[in-house]
Amino acid sequence: MKLVIIVILTGILFSAICLAQYPDTLWTYELLSQCYGSPACADIDNDGYLEIVFGTYFDDEHAYALNAEDGSLLWRFDVGGGPLDAAPVIADLDSDDTLEIIIPASWGIIFCLNPAGEIKWRYPSTGYIECIDSPPSVADIDGDGKLEVIFGAWYGKLYVLDGADGSLVWQKTYCDTGYIQSAPCILDCDGDGELDIAFGMYGGDCKVYAVSGSDGDTLWTFQADDRMYSGPATADIDLDGTPELVIGDYSGKVYALDAQDGSLIWQNELAYYIFPPVTIAELVPDSLGPEILCAETDLFCLSANGEIIWTYHTGNLIDRGAVVAEIDGDDNLEVIFGSSDGNLYVLDGENGNLVWQFTTGEDYPIENAPIVADFDNDGNVDIFFIGGRGYSDTIPNYGRAYAITAGPGDGEIWTMYRHDRYRTGYLMGGPSAIEPEQANTPANIDIEIEPNPFNQNCKISISEPNPDNQSRRINIFDLSGKLIYQKSGIGSKIIWTPERTIGSGLYIVQIAGDNFSLFTKVVFIR
């Protein structure tokens, strides 16, 4: 009996220690206002640690870069007045191996800063344009081998700038009575190998637009029932090998659209209105297709066909939606979001159960989307967010940035608004990390996969003049570019049986040899 008691007490003590460890405050930083635009993080100064960049609202109106390991100030940039409503984006815009930071100021200027917080370029070079509340995207949108900065503005305008110098590539007006508040979502709508842009109109005609990245010509529009503040998310939710777009509007409806032509796949009316963006991730093991998160005061988890799987109720609005990451070292993903009720929530992605919550208090509502990464290089996952007040009235504003240690996770992280610089809102989305090993692929080499889609295993066959070439190898990647399977010396065929931890989805198969590299797609349905 004494032994049992000792074991039980030891277990209780161990559990208490574990529970007390996460969450824990890593550091805080006092501000003069709230952040509504959400942060981004990257190692901008090449010191081996991440930095966190964000903008603030009325009474502060600066862009900040904080050292993520301890919260110390790296720099503070004055945008010249006016709030910063849109999230920044960080990328190497001119291919010089140095990161640039794009800061959109709501009063009508896009700033490009170097790692020291100094202006590299601004658009326009003098004066200002329309109000910018649209978080910029970054992509080689016109296929010229260089990155562009894409953002929307008031009066239905969309801008594309040269990332290296900020010069105008093209600009178009789509609805002069509406506003493009949303982050432009970058994807290849029609499978032609060229990137396109999708966005929603706030007011005006209340349409979803898909336009060509090369010149802005409209590919299609979809008529929503009400205005849309946040942009669409994109993924292959029905596992047909082509992308879909998912977006919510102020009528409380969520729409899933075929990205090829804008046709409606399904819709679900969920709430009074849907202000925040939707998020897509593979949350439920053994489900058919990824899940969709959308929010108002309730967070809804929908299946790939739009049916409610679970909901979680908070005490107030979830203004900037949820992010997804793996923070506790298990096989399941966690859903993380802040609420205007002054709580940061972490839920089990599979069932919506509360894992833990971190309370800032009702005076510090959380009205930005968090980011998730290892800020101090200790092997643990951390979360950054901001609470406070940022109104345009005469009452003094205030804010506080929080970095908290979240858990021992070693899986997926979320480092910027909408996950990636394409603003896909998809955990596996964004620019492909897959690089071909050879540019030359002989025309007489082909890959055949059967069945495709498949459920348990598939046969991958390679036809080429030297079928017994033992230098041939296979690599299989998920859509984030993560290598999930590889084998060398495969001969002319191989049977692939995905491991138990591999979820349903679209995967990229690479077959490479001494003088070729070839890619194709396969859909796995668990």
| CATH code, domain carrying 194 | 2.130.10.10
pLDDT of res. 83: 93
First to last CA, the chain: 47
* Predicted confidence (pLDDT) at residue 55 exceeds the cutoff of 50: yes
Q: How far apart are CA 525 and CA 503, in angstroms?
A: 8
pLDDT of res. 502: 83
Torsions phi, psi for 238 (to 5 deg): -100, 10
Enclosing H/E stretch for 5: helix 2-21
Does 88 share its domain with 147?
A: yes
Residue with the two structure tokens 């005469």: 394
pLDDT of res. 433: 58
Q: How far apart are CA 161 and CA 172, in angstroms?
A: 12
pLDDT of res. 436: 46
Q: What is the dihedral of CA 472, 474, 480, 482, to 10 degrees?
A: -100
Please, which pLDDT band fits residue 444 given cuts at 50, 70 and 90? Answer: low
pLDDT of res. 501: 73
Q: How far apart are CA 207 and CA 199, in angstroms?
A: 9
pLDDT of res. 442: 56
Q: Considering the domain boundaries, does residue 75 fall inside one?
A: yes
Please, which pLDDT band fits residue 319 given cuts at 50, 70 and 90? Answer: very high
* Predicted confidence (pLDDT) at residue 417 exceeds the cutoff of 70: yes
Does 396 share its domain with 456?
A: no
Of 381, 407, 433, the last residue of a domain is 407
pLDDT digits (tens, 9 = 90+) for 68-81: 999 999 999 999 98
Q: Considering the domain boundaries, does residue 248 fall inside one?
A: yes
Does 125 share its domain with 258?
A: yes
DSSP 201: -
Domain count, the chain: 2
Beta bridge partners of 119: 113
Does 171 share its domain with 115?
A: yes
Q: Considering the domain boundaries, does residue 368 fall inside one?
A: yes
CATH code at position 509? 2.60.40.1930
Least confident of 159-163, 263-267, 462-466: 462-466
Q: How far apart are CA 439 and CA 519, in angstroms?
A: 11
Q: Considering the domain boundaries, does residue 356 fall inside one?
A: yes
Does 452 share its domain with 372?
A: no
Structure tokens at 88: 């920044």
Range of the domain at 67: 17-407
* Predicted confidence (pLDDT) at residue 469 exceeds the cutoff of 90: no
Does 129 share its domain with 271?
A: yes
Q: How far apart are CA 222 and CA 460, in angstroms?
A: 39
Q: Considering the domain boundaries, does residue 492 fall inside one?
A: yes
pLDDT of res. 79: 95
What's the order of all strands across the beta sheet hosting 517-524?
483-488, 473-477, 505-512, 517-524
**420 close to 333: Cβ distance less than 8 angstroms:** no
3-state class of 328 per DSSP? coil
pLDDT digits (tens, 9 = 90+) for 164-214: 999 999 999 999 999 999 999 999 999 888 999 999 999 999 999 999 999
Does 401 share its domain with 451?
A: no
Least confident of 11-15, 70-74, 356-360, 396-400: 11-15
Q: Considering the domain boundaries, does residue 193 fall inside one?
A: yes
* Predicted confidence (pLDDT) at residue 490 exceeds the cutoff of 50: yes
Of 389, 407, 425, the last residue of a domain is 407
Using a pLDDT cut of 90, give the percent of the chain over it: 72
Q: To the nearest whole number, what is the mean pLDDT of the chain?
A: 90
Does 456 share its domain with 317?
A: no
Q: Considering the domain boundaries, does residue 439 fall inside one?
A: no
Does 357 share its domain with 461?
A: no
* Predicted confidence (pLDDT) at residue 20 exceeds the cutoff of 80: no
